Amino acid sequence: MPSILFLSDLHLSPQQLRLTQCFETFCAAPARLAAEVYILGDLFDYWLGDDQLREPYYQNIARHLAGVGASGVSVFLQHGNRDFLIGERFAHEARVTLLPDPFALDLYGVRTVLTHGDLLCTNDEDYQVARRFWRTPTRIRQYLVLPYFLRRWIAWRFRRRSMKAQGKSVYQTDVNQDTVVSCLLEHEAARMIHGHTHRPDTHRFDLHGRERERIVLPDWRDSGLYLEISEAGCRVLEIDGTQF
C-alpha cells in the first residue's frame, strides 16, 4: 500500500532556488508514488493573497502541485503563519484541498492530529495576541483590498520583525506541553504531527496510561526532508531517498 507523506516549513521563495528544485523533484517523484500528501503550513516564505499567482515563480509552484493532483494523488494543505492568506483560487489552480488547523484523521489505525504548530506555542503571548488580531475575517478582507505593492511592503516589514524575534527564548518559541495535551485529548488522538518550531524530533510521553507521540517535522533549511508514514511505521526521508 502506498505511504502517506508529510512536510512543512518549506518557506519557498524566488531566492531559494535550490530548495525550489528540491520541491520540484518531490512533486515529480515521491509525491506521485504516495497515497496522499499533507503540507502542514509555510509552503511559502510569504503569501500576499492569491493574486500573488501573477508572479511566474508562484505559478510554477502551483503547476507542480497540480501535476501531483493530476496523477491521482490527493494533496492537502494547512495554513502556516507565513502563508495563512492562501485562498480558494490558489487551491483550485494547485489542485490542493485546504484543511482546518487542527485537523484529525486516522493513519493506519492511529488517531492523529495535524497542525502547523504555532497554535501550540502559547508561552509566546505576544505572538498569540498578534495571531488572533490578524487572522480575523475583517482584518484579512481589509488587507487584501490594499494595493499589491503595499501588501508586499507590509510583508517585508513583518519578515524583518520576525528576524528580530529570533532572539526569543526556547520557552517562548517551543510548544507548551499542556496545550499539546489538551489538543490530543480534545481529538481523542494518540499522535500529533506538526511543524513551525524548526526543532525536528519525536517526543513520546504517557498520558492517562497510554503512550502518546508528537512528531515535529523538519524545516527545509538546507535540503528537502519529509515524513513518510506507512503500515511499516514512520521514517524521515530526504528528497534523494536518504533515510534519517
Task: Output the pLDDT for position 165.
Answer: 56
3-class SS string, the chain: CCCEEEECCCCECCCCHHHHHHHHHHHHCHHHHCCEEEEECCCECCCCCHHHHHCHHHHHHHHHHHHHHHCCCEEEEECCCCCCCCCHHHHHHHCCEECCCCEEEEECCEEEEEECCHHHCCCCHHHHHHHHHHCCHHHHHHHHCCCHHHHHHHHHHHHHHHHHHHHCCHHHHCCCHHHHHHHHHHCCCCEEEECCCCCCEEEEEEECCEEEEEEECCCCCCCCEEEEEECCEEEEEECCCCEC
Contact 172, 124 (CB under 8 A): yes
Task: Output the pLDDT for position 1.
Answer: 73
Residue 9: closest CA among 58, 68, 82, 104: 82
Burial class (CB in 10 A: 0-12, 13-18, 19+), 61: buried
Could you read off the pLDDT of 92-110 as tens digits, one per residue?
A: 999 999 999 999 999 999 9
Query: Per-residue pLDDT for 131 more than 70?
Result: yes
Query: Per-residue pLDDT for 45 more than 60?
Result: yes
Query: Per-residue pLDDT for 241 more than 70?
Result: no
Could you read off the pLDDT of 163-185 as tens digits, one per residue?
A: 655 667 776 789 999 999 999 99
| Rounded average pLDDT over 140-169 | 82
The fraction of the chain above a pLDDT of 90, given in percent, is 87
Give 19's pLDDT tier (boundaries 50, 70, 90): very high
| Rounded average pLDDT over 64-71 | 98
Looking at per-residue pLDDT, the higher value among 167 and 145 belongs to 145
Return all residues near 42 (Cβ < 8 A) that are at least 6 apart: 8, 9, 10, 11, 80, 81, 82, 83, 116, 195, 196
pTM: 0.95
Task: Output the pLDDT for position 216.
Answer: 98
Task: Output the pLDDT for position 168.
Answer: 74
Task: Output the pLDDT for position 240.
Answer: 74
Task: Output the pLDDT for position 173.
Answer: 85
CATH code of the domain made up of 4-238: 3.60.21.50
**Mean pLDDT score of the chain:** 94
Query: Per-residue pLDDT for 61 more than 90?
Result: yes
Return all residues near 108 (Cβ < 8 A) that are at least 6 apart: 229, 230, 231
